[in-house]
Amino acid sequence: QSENLDTTVLLLDLEKAYDKPDGVQRGLIAEIISRFEKKGFYLRGMKLMDVKKALGEQHYAEHEGKPFFPGLVKYICSGPVVAMVWEGPNVVASGRQMIGATKPHESAAGTIRGDYALTVGRNLIHGSDAVESAKKEIALWFPEGLSQWKSCQHPWIYE
């Protein structure tokens, strides 16, 4: 924890992302984490967790009433997920780019969904769509708080 980092954090976006159950089942966790890690984003929180129905419904509340909602909640509760918080400049926008479009067949090659997913209902990973929703999702998934640390590589990644 350093004063420099605290100052920087004010300028940074926070992103909440998680590997959905298929990411865990298919052994793609390390690959997905690795992409965010190598990019230079800060990992602020991470845990493997079983998602209870109430949390799944709360997380996807904006989709309540849509035909795919029951299946979506069932899917997200169907096995453990890896919940993560990543931080860095424009991480919400960059993270969404790295994840790819919602429908895997529309995701560019090189994105996580473009490379590893085929169908919308098994698209591997969620990423917050805005800084405001990231804040809400972080509060929902990480009520215990996050870790603040500074990488020894910091000056070689952050100008």
Residue 121 makes contact with ligand UDP by CB under 6 A? yes
Nearest to 84 by CA among 130, 33, 129: 33
Residue 44 in marked binding region: no
Cα–Cα distance measured from residue 108 to residue 149, given in angstroms and rounded to the nearest whole number: 33
Residue 102 makes contact with ligand UDP by CB under 6 A? yes
Of 36-44, 85-93, 121-129, 147-155, the window that binds ligand UDP (rule: CB under 6 A) is 121-129
**Active-site annotation holds for 63:** no
104-135: string of b/e by CB count within 10 Å (b at 16+)? Answer: beebeeebbbbbbbeeeebbbbbbbeeeeebe
In terms of CB distance, is 136 or 154 closer to ligand UDP?
136
Q: 14 is written with which tokens?
A: 């926070």
State the catalytic residues: 126
Q: Which residues define the annotated binding site for ATP?
A: 20, 68, 96, 102, 113, 123
Residues that bind ligand UDP (CB under 6 A): 68, 72, 102, 120-121, 123, 126, 129
